[in-house]
Amino acid sequence: MDNGFCIWLTGFSGSGKTTIAEKLVEHFEGSRYIETMDGDELRQGLSRDLGFSKEDRNEHNHRVIFCTKLLARNGVIVVVALISPYRETRAYAKEEIPNMMEVFVNAPIDVCIERDPKGLYEQALAGEIKNFTGIDDPYEKPLEPDVTVNTHEETVDESVNKILDKARELGYLSGD
């Protein structure tokens, strides 16, 4: 059985995490077991009882960490696409999940506001959504991510290739 590992995508809402996750799934489909842990989807099931306070966000992330750990140790490539705004929580994920690479999906907040694929920034700026990361709640950028992709400067394929190259460099993938 191939070893599992985790690609943890962190960044603002609208930075491109879900798009990159979808491309990674396309890349591995049919050749490896792969699962995506997308924040929006998980909040409809696994964490539907949680809000967006710091405590609830940490609990949401801890649930994802637990599930990811189980999947990865059974040979699954797990792509986590979560804002995951706090360094402390991401550090905990690295402690708990063997073979985890942290990927900073970087796009300036003004670019994310302009993209606003779900209309959430517009609502947050109007005061209709509270505790919105980057508006009235902090995002702690990774200090030493394994990879930084700059989605405002790179194509999706360029970002995905950087991630795959790093996975090979770390020994998570062979000549794939």
Global pTM reads 0.93
Mind telling me the catalytic residues?
A: 84
Beta bridge partners of 81: 9, 38
The greatest distance separating any two alpha carbons of the chain, rounded to the nearest whole angstrom, comes to 51
* 71-89 pLDDT tens trace: 999 999 999 999 999 999 9
- The sign of the torsion formed by the CA atoms of 98, 103, 109, 115 equals negative
pLDDT over threshold 90, residue 101: yes
Nearest to 79 by CA among 18, 31, 154: 18
pLDDT over threshold 90, residue 148: yes
Q: In what order do the strands lie in the sheet with 5-10?
A: 34-38, 77-81, 5-10, 100-106, 147-150
pLDDT score for 79: 97
Q: Measure the CA–CA gap between 164 and 87, rounded to whole angstroms.
A: 23
- Count, residues in the chain: 176
One-letter identity of residue 17: K
Q: How confident is the model at residue 1 (pLDDT cuts 50, 70, 90)?
A: low
pLDDT score for 76: 95
Q: Measure the CA–CA gap between 106 and 10, rounded to whole angstroms.
A: 8
Q: Measure the CA–CA gap between 114 and 32, rounded to whole angstroms.
A: 36
Q: Measure the CA–CA gap between 132 and 124, rounded to whole angstroms.
A: 6
pLDDT score for 161: 97
| E strand spans, 24-150 | 34-38, 77-81, 100-106, 147-150
User: For all residues of the chain together, what is the average pLDDT?
Assistant: 93
pLDDT over threshold 70, residue 156: yes
Structural tokens at position 82: 């979560």
* 13-66 pLDDT tens trace: 999 999 999 999 999 988 889 999 998 888 888 889 998 888 999 999 999 999
pLDDT over threshold 60, residue 176: no
pLDDT over threshold 80, residue 2: no
